[in-house]
Amino acid sequence: MAGAAAGAAAVAQAAHEERAGPDTRIRLLLWRHGQTAWNVEGRFQGQTDIPLDETGVQQAERAARLLAALRPDVIISSDLSRAMATAAPLGRLTGLTVTTDKDLRERHGGAWEGLSDVQIRTRYPVEHAQWLPPGGESTATVGERAGAALERIAEGLPPGSLAVVVSHGAALRLGAARLLGLPEDLWGIIGPLSNCSWSVLARRSHRWRLIEHNAGTLPEPVLSDDR
């Protein structure tokens, strides 16, 4: 009985895919880098070039084995070492060359870089309340920079492609919000990404959708009548 049920499910899925036609979507898998010592210590990293710690390396290796099964077409990474070290195992498994884009860097934290949240709140209470690091980037600036990079990557892909974009928590979250067309006052409704987790955006007919968020396993296709 179990085999018959599985066979029926496979036939149903094949029929669904035939009706839907070929997949012409452009997909961006937004992958945050693995853990660093500053993540563990709760320090603001920004664009300070902090490497992965041992756990982060293991996270990247595990995630790469999962993501390689999706058969990505390209891999693009921030040029900071924690992002490139996260992308490297996936490049080895897929045989793809990892290219870099400095516009995928994390938010520049200015005077906050290297400080803990307690230190930031104590030394910069006004700026902390506004989340505006002295000498650093505003939320709008990061969203525009990272969002434009994601759009540029998408424009260079043929229909049906999947690009893995390896970057940083704020850059990916704010870039995704900008790409989805959310007004800036609603960017906060997209929650943060855990270390080495990912989100998936898909574009069809010039419209972007958030398909997966903060995933740590393979994204599953959504079989539904919902459009």
**Considering the domain boundaries, does residue 175 fall inside one?**
yes
- Tokens 């987790």 belong to which residue? 197
Catalytic site residue 106? Answer: yes
Domain housing 107: 23-215
CATH number, domain with residue 65: 3.40.50.1240
How many domains does the chain divide into? 1
Q: What gap in Å lies between CA 115 and CA 123, rounded to an integer? A: 10
Q: Give burial (CB, 10 Å; 0-12/13-18/19+) of 139.
A: middle
User: Could you tell me which residues come within 8 angstroms of residue 158 by beta carbon, excluding any fewer than 6 positions away?
Assistant: none
Q: What is the pLDDT of residues 91-138, one digit of tens each?
A: 999 999 999 999 999 999 999 999 999 999 999 999 999 999 999 999
Q: What is the pTM of this model?
A: 0.87
**Considering the domain boundaries, does residue 206 fall inside one?**
yes
**Considering the domain boundaries, does residue 3 fall inside one?**
no
**Considering the domain boundaries, does residue 5 fall inside one?**
no
Alpha-carbon 41 to chain mean position: 22
**Considering the domain boundaries, does residue 148 fall inside one?**
yes
Helix segments in 42-157, DSSP class H = 54-68, 81-94, 117-123, 125-130, 139-155
Q: What gap in Å lies between CA 203 and CA 11, rounded to an integer? A: 27
* Active-site residue identified among 16, 17, 18, 33: 33
**Considering the domain boundaries, does residue 113 fall inside one?**
yes
List, in sequence order, every residue forming a beta bridge with 43; answer none if it has no partner: 116
* Active-site residue identified among 61, 106, 151, 220: 106
**Considering the domain boundaries, does residue 221 fall inside one?**
no
Element (H, E) at 167: strand 162-167
**Tens-of-pLDDT digits for all 227 residues of the chain?**
444 444 444 334 444 444 445 788 999 999 999 999 999 999 999 999 999 999 999 999 999 999 999 999 999 999 999 999 999 999 999 999 999 999 999 999 999 999 999 999 999 999 999 999 999 999 999 999 999 999 999 999 999 999 999 999 999 999 999 999 999 999 999 999 999 999 999 998 889 999 999 998 777 666 566 65
